[in-house]
Structure 1
Amino acid sequence: MLEHSTNIILSRVDISKYMLLKILTRLRIAMTQDIPEVFEGSVNGLETLEVFLKNHGKGR
């Protein structure tokens, strides 16, 4: 659902745009707070890779 624009979602549901934006905001907040530990290492690995590439001239 989050990959669609608000107008597409509004055409499929019977709620106001204001209510939809409130729901989507709360959903995004909940999703960012509910990240399993297994993915936390992946983010750190990506950051490490980006630093490595930057330091070796390949991240430009």
Structure 2
Amino acid sequence: MAIDDESVPPAEGGTCPPSHPVKAVNRSGIYHSTESRWYERSKADICFRDVEAAEAAGFRAPGTTPK
């Protein structure tokens, strides 16, 4: 079930579907793209279609400072 066109909830265990591969973690406010070294270790609270959608929702890349 899609939250909107840009995001979907994760599967059991915090994995994201191929259609929405960007993992976002609510507590940290950080997203992980498939290129992130932490991608496999992170458990998503929400999955985004792309980095732009994650950033539009207020998430930031790892290693960046909050706005």
What interval of TM-score do these two structures reach, taking the shorter chain for normalisation?
Answer: under 0.3
More helix by share: 1
More strand by share: 2
Between 1 and 2, higher relative CO (CA 8 Å, sep ≥ 6) is seen in: 2
**Structure with max Cα Rg:** 1
